[in-house]
Amino acid sequence: MNEVKDSSAPTADRPRLWVVSELYYPEETSTGYYLTRIAEGLTSKFEVKAISGQPNYSARGIRAPKHEVRNGVEIFRVAGTTLDKNVIVFRLINMLTLGFTTFLTALLRFRAGDRVLVVTNPPVMPFLMAAAALFRGSAYTLLVHDNYPEILIAAGKSKESSLFVSGMAYMNRWLYKHAARIIVVGRDMFELMTRKTDGLDVPIAVIPNWAELETVSPTPRSENELLEELDLQDKFVILYAGNMGPPNDIESVVDAAEMIRDDTVFHFIFLGAGAKKNWLMNAVRERSLSNISVLDPKPRDEQIVFLNACDISLVSLVGKMWGVSMPSRTYNILAAGKPILGITEDGSETDRVIREERVGWNVPPHDPAALVAALRDARARAAELSEMGERARKAAETKYSLEAALQRYQAEIN
């Protein structure tokens, strides 16, 4: 049983760090996974405490304790609605209720001299935590997983000329101005954030997310359970595993599958969930695309199986996502030793990783013809794919490990 300890004051040798995230253990969705590991990895330097909501993604339905200590981190889970996040009105209600209770908890518990690490999802949370930190005399670090309002523009949820976008840009300047530092997860994000903070003199650091080397590794294709289950051992398999949301270019992949349907060696697997999944399933049915299999999400501990169930893996973003986000699944694809076919803009972090490590191809978003050409080239160079896979695994081990990321966090948060 986890012992709940006194949270009244930091210890003499370790300053107090608050990690604030909508998602935290037992939530294993990307943000929850990463923020949990960051918090637990910083306990040697800080007295770490976390504020989060109840699980509402991969662990939806689980009721976690309101207060517990796990792996050295004291966790406070606040109340909030957990309505269906795929319904926009419900998602907004969740955001507002969670934001309100998190803000009250922060006001009650933050102290002068505390450090605060807050992630940008959901977008209202950093503003609330900044206000609470400033009121209580704490210093906050902003961890940017997604840049707002740019991601809303890219996803078609808002127009660049709208008053909302102008207002958010103005509010962002306030948020950045008072931050102790900003951490981004990609070099294109660093370049965008440098422009957005021009004249504010706020430190910006790049700390990529990491590969789960302890649980994901290459396995023989001939022994893959998922390929056997789907009877795809003799196909050239293209895998899309992860979120299928508005920022992801799912449409080009489906169009490419339709263009290449007569070449029966190619088969596409989509595995995951998100706002575009219903569209995907309808498109597969209406176009009678037998070369696409659509699967439900699988637990994180099964990544070693499904990430190895392919010859090449996809990472896709819509246009206007340069500098906005970096799909974290890229690193676990590297860990699985798989070549990557990126669908991203030139100069994106994904594009840079692919080119620098020589592990695949990158084509522009919304260009299914270019995607088909890249797939045919990959198939023609099948003998080289294993070499790409070896380079991918080496890059994961040497550049994108948890240990490397935690060293950077320990250096940047002080």
pLDDT of residue 394: 98
pLDDT of residue 338: 98
The Cα–Cα gap between 132 and 130 comes to 5
Q: Are 28 and 300 in contact (CB under 8 A)?
A: yes
| Backbone dihedral angles phi then psi of residue 216, each to the nearest 5 degrees | -120, 125
Q: What is the pTM of this model?
A: 0.93
- Per-residue 3-state assignment (H helix, E strand, C coil) for 303-336: HHHHCCCCCEEEEECCCCCCCCECCCHHHHHHHC
Report the C-alpha dihedral over residues 360, 299, 293, 263, rounded to 10 degrees.
20
Average pLDDT value for residue range 333-351: 98
pLDDT band per the 50, 70, 90 thresholds, residue 58: low
pLDDT value of position 11: 54
- For the cut 80, the answer to whether the pLDDT of residue 291 exceeds it is yes
Find out whether 177 and 201 touch, Cβ atoms under 8 Å.
no
Name the residue ranges covered by the structural domains of the chain.
Answer: 16-210+401-412, 221-399
Confidence of residue 86 (pLDDT cuts 50, 70, 90): low
Kindly report the length of the chain.
414
pLDDT at 258: 98
CA distances from 359 to 98, 331, 387, 391 (A): 41, 12, 8, 7
The whole-number average pLDDT for the span 5-11 is 46
Give the pLDDT confidence of 117-153 residue by residue, as tens digits: 999 988 999 999 999 999 999 999 999 999 999 999 9
Output the pLDDT for position 89.
Answer: 78
- Between CA 27 and CA 62 the distance in angstroms is 9
What is the token pair recorded at 148?
Answer: 């707002």
Query: What does the block give as tokens for 163?
Result: 């008053």
- Using one digit for the tens of pLDDT, what is the confidence trace for 359-406? 999 999 999 999 999 999 999 998 899 999 999 999 999 999 999 999
Adjacent-strand bridge partners of 255: none
Non-local (6+) Cβ contacts of 114 within 8 A are 10, 15, 16, 17, 18, 133, 136, 138, 139
| 16-210+401-412 is classed CATH 3.40.50.2000 | yes
Looking at per-residue pLDDT, the higher value among 79 and 294 belongs to 294
Two domains, one topology: 16-210+401-412 and 221-399: yes
Query: What is the pLDDT, as a whole number, of residue 87?
Result: 73
pLDDT at residue 3, as a whole number? 43
Q: How far is CA 404 from CA 209, 308, 400, 411, in A?
A: 10, 24, 7, 11
pLDDT at 1 > cutoff 60: no
20-29, 85-94, 96-105: segment of lowest average pLDDT: 85-94
- Asked if the model's pLDDT at residue 6 lies above 60, the reply is no
Q: What is the CA radius of gyration of the chain?
A: 22
Closest CA to 104 of 141, 131, 123: 131
Show the CA angle centred on residue 74, arms to residues 69 and 80, nearest 5°. Answer: 105
Least Cα distance to 331 among 355, 306, 350, 352 occurs for 350
Whether residue 140 contacts residue 51, with contact meaning beta carbons closer than 8 Å, is answered with no
**Is the sign of the CA dihedral 167, 162, 277, 208 positive or negative?**
negative
How would you classify residue 391: left for phi > 0, otherwise alpha for psi between -120 and 50, otherwise beta? alpha
In this predicted model, what pLDDT tens digit does every residue of 193-220 receive, in sequence order?
Answer: 999 999 999 999 999 999 999 999 999 9
Taking the C-alpha atoms of residue 412 and residue 182, their distance in angstroms, rounded to an integer, is: 9
pLDDT confidence band for 9 (50 / 70 / 90): very low
Output the pLDDT for position 264. 96
Instruction: Read off the pLDDT band of 4 (50, 70, 90).
Output: very low
The predicted structure's pLDDT at residue 5: 46
pLDDT at site 252: 98
The percentage of the chain sitting over the pLDDT mark of 70, rounded to a whole number, equals 95
In whole angstroms, how far apart are CA 20 and each of 173, 181, 391?
21, 15, 35
List the structure tokens of 408. Answer: 């950077």
Superfamily for the 221-399 domain = Glycogen Phosphorylase B; (3.40.50.2000)
CB-based burial, 59-73: b 16+ in 10 Å, e otherwise: beeeebeeebbbeeb
Q: CA-CA distances (angstroms) from residue 361 to 254, 339, 356, 364, 394?
A: 18, 8, 11, 10, 18
CA distance 155 to 145: 16
Taking all residues of the chain, what is their mean pLDDT, rounded to a whole number?
94
Q: At residue 2, does pLDDT exceed 80?
A: no
Closest listed residue to residue 259, CA positions, set 374, 148, 369: 369
Does residue 32 surpass a pLDDT of 90? Answer: yes
pLDDT digits (tens, 9 = 90+) for 267-287: 999 999 999 999 999 999 999
pLDDT of 24 > 90? The answer is yes
Burial of 383 (0-12, 13-18, 19+ CB in 10 A): exposed
